[in-house]
Amino acid sequence: MRQTEDMRPQVVAHRGASFENAEHTRRAYLEAIREGAQAVECDVRLTADGHLVCVHDRDLRRIASTRGLVSTMELADLDQLEFSSWKNPWADLDDEGADLDPDLDKVLTLRRLLETVADADRPIELAVETKHPTRYGGLVERRLVEALEEFGWTGADSPVRVMSFSYVALQRMQRLAPQLRLVMLIDKARHWPMLKPMVEDGWILGPGIDALSRHPKFAQKMAHSPHDVHVWTVNTLEQLELCQSLGVAAVITDRPRAVLGWLDGVPCT
SS3 53: strand
- Catalytic one among 51, 56, 191, 230? 56
Under the banding of pLDDT at 50, 70 and 90, the label for residue 92 is low
**Residue 227 catalytic?**
no
Q: How far is CA 80 from CA 7, 24, 106, 207, in A?
A: 45, 16, 8, 36
Inter-axis angle of helices 110-118 and 26-35, nearest 10: 20
**Residue 132 catalytic?**
no
Angle CA(225)–CA(230)–CA(231) in degrees, nearest 5? 105
Q: What tens digit of pLDDT does each residue of 197-216 get? A: 999 999 999 999 999 999 99
Contacts of 110 (CB under 8 A, 6+ apart): 42, 44, 51, 52, 53, 54, 128, 144, 147
1-15 mean pLDDT? 77
39-57 mean pLDDT? 97
pLDDT (0 to 100) of residue 103: 87
| Rg, C-alpha atoms of the chain | 18
Is the confidence at residue 93, as pLDDT, over 70? Answer: no
Is the confidence at residue 268, as pLDDT, over 90? Answer: no
- Catalytic one among 14, 24, 51, 230? 14
Longest dimension (CA), the chain: 56
pLDDT (0 to 100) of residue 81: 93
53-81 mean pLDDT? 95
- Counting Cβ atoms within 10 Å, is residue 1 exposed (0-12), middle (13-18) or buried (19+)? exposed
CATH class of the domain defined by 10-263: alpha beta
- The domain limits of the chain are 10-263
